[in-house]
Amino acid sequence: MSTIRTFLTLFISAITLTANAQVEVSGTVKNYTDSIFYITEVGGFNNFTRVWRDNRVKVVVNKDKTFEVTIPEESIGSWYIKTGNESQIQMFDFVKGENQKMIVDFSQPYPLHAIGKNAGDFNFSVFLRDSIENYYSKHNYFERTRSKNIDSVLYYRKMFASYEISLLNKFRSTHLMSDTYCKWLQSKYAYEPFERTLVENIKNRDSLDNATISKLMEKGINDEYAALNTGEYNDLVDFYIASKLNRKSKTLTLADRFNYAADSNILSGSTKDVYLSRFMAWLIKKPDSVYNPLFKKYDEIVHNKKMKQLVISRRNDYETPKTESAINVNDSKTNSLIDIFKKYRGKVIYVDFWASWCVPCRAEMPNSAELKDKLKGKNIVFLYLGYNDKEKAWLKARKQIGIEGEHYLLNDKMIKEADELFVINGIPHYAIIDKYGKIISKSADRPSNVYNELLSLVSK
């Protein structure tokens, strides 16, 4: 009964959280002939679960050049605008609950400009971008941060973070900005030098000495605000705990690793809650015999309802009820890949094997959408095949990504068939079939690199 009560409470919380997790954006478009453009998440991970964020929202421009759209922003996150024929044009941040009124002028290098309430928070990104481009060039920043000397790299990264803080203070002195957004930026700038050094300059984390680890963890742990708001901080905490565990002599089970963080005093407060939430989100594919005992302990320790709801949703999205051989949303009678391919005989087929849980797969989807736009009207079909995925998670990911096309979820038989036909060792995996049904490439280039090859095939 307690389990049901907990689930219902979290379900109600989820509805409330979802309702508030949005930004209403409206405005006027200038110097643009198309009727749509896109607002897309830059990418990156959810702070509490480290699930990849890649929402893509289509913006429809009305005949009077106005638009209205709802952006599913759960906290504060980075997005960018792009058209069908262009790559990333302008990057900016949305703050949950801060609705924005825009002028979108495509004759400008940075088309989006906010006006009215909340404009200061949004427009800071353009001010920042212009200033840091000059900084990069003047200080030879990228070359200096590629050094193998960690002390040198950290020095220049921290200098850059100080510069960002000074820009924030300068902009804030003449523009109205929210305390919420400014505090988020300040925390991000504080931890980013260390997180970026870890990601970009450390090749083998397992072999780091204590001195280097101490330098990377200079800011310490158990920062309550950063735990709840700063992904860079939590990534450093993950690294720190992993470095502790790697120094233990015996082979550790998943339970050992979970209990180390859960039972020790090394983490506390929201830092411990986030670490354990990330750990549980990572376990979604584990059997009940492994997952359930750890979740029971997690449920007793963590009291943050939002974190719990995200963890439970993550598991539920993966653990869907078993269906019949399903899974083809277009034709339930399809039983093999060959049957699918035959439906599109006469067209060039670009096959994309992907899954909701595959971060590189999802990261490539904006490029796939751009490729489709470039080849619009050509004799080609884009075939998206869900590979080793669960139906509910797959459908949810399709909705989030917002990419149109021919979608099928493969059953075990079809996956085996795909492995044999295309020698799939991992995803994303791409293939090309010509208009006569012949496999041209068992392992084709990704959408970002395959345009010329496909254009040549459809032109024959």
**Tokens standing for 235?**
């990534």
CA gap 126, 109 in Å, rounded: 10
pLDDT in tens, 307-344: 999 999 888 877 654 333 333 334 434 578 888 998 99
Indicate where the chain has its CATH 3.40.30.10 domain(s): 337-459
Superfamily of domain covering 337-459:
Glutaredoxin (3.40.30.10)
φ/ψ of residue 90, rounded to 5: -150, 130
CB 430 within 8 A of CB 450: yes
Question: What topology is assigned to 20-116 in CATH?
Answer: Immunoglobulin-like (2.60.40)
Is residue 126 left, alpha or beta, with left meaning phi > 0 and alpha meaning psi from -120 to 50? alpha
Indicate where the chain has its CATH 2.60.40 domain(s): 20-116
pLDDT in tens, 15-45: 444 444 689 999 999 999 989 888 988 877 8
pLDDT attached to residue 191: 98
CA gap 332, 415 in Å, rounded: 16
pLDDT attached to residue 334: 57
Type of residue at 122: F
pLDDT in tens, 262-312: 999 999 999 999 999 999 999 988 899 999 999 999 999 999 999 999 999
CA gap 376, 374 in Å, rounded: 6
CB 37 within 8 A of CB 67: no
Supply the DSSP symbol for 207: G
Q: What is the 3-state secondary structure (H, E, C) of 54-87?
A: CCEEEEECCCCCEEEEEECCCCEEEEEEECCCCC
Residue 111, pLDDT > 80, answer yes
pLDDT in tens, 138-165: 999 999 999 989 999 999 999 999 999 9
pLDDT in tens, 355-383: 988 888 988 888 898 899 899 889 999 99
CA gap 122, 130 in Å, rounded: 14
CA gap 376, 33 in Å, rounded: 17
b/e 164-183 (16+ beta carbons within 10 angstroms → b):
beebbeebeeeeebeebbbe
Residue 2, pLDDT > 60, answer no
pLDDT attached to residue 419: 86
Residue 449's pLDDT band (cuts 50, 70, 90): confident
Residue 11, pLDDT > 70, answer no
CB 41 within 8 A of CB 79: yes
Please say whether the dihedral angle defined by the alpha carbons of residues 194, 198, 202 and 206, taken in this order, is positive or negative.
positive
Decide which of 149 and 4 is more confident: 149
**Tokens standing for 231?**
């992904």
pLDDT in tens, 178-236: 999 999 999 999 999 999 999 999 988 888 999 999 999 999 999 999 999 999 999 99
CB 306 within 8 A of CB 20: no
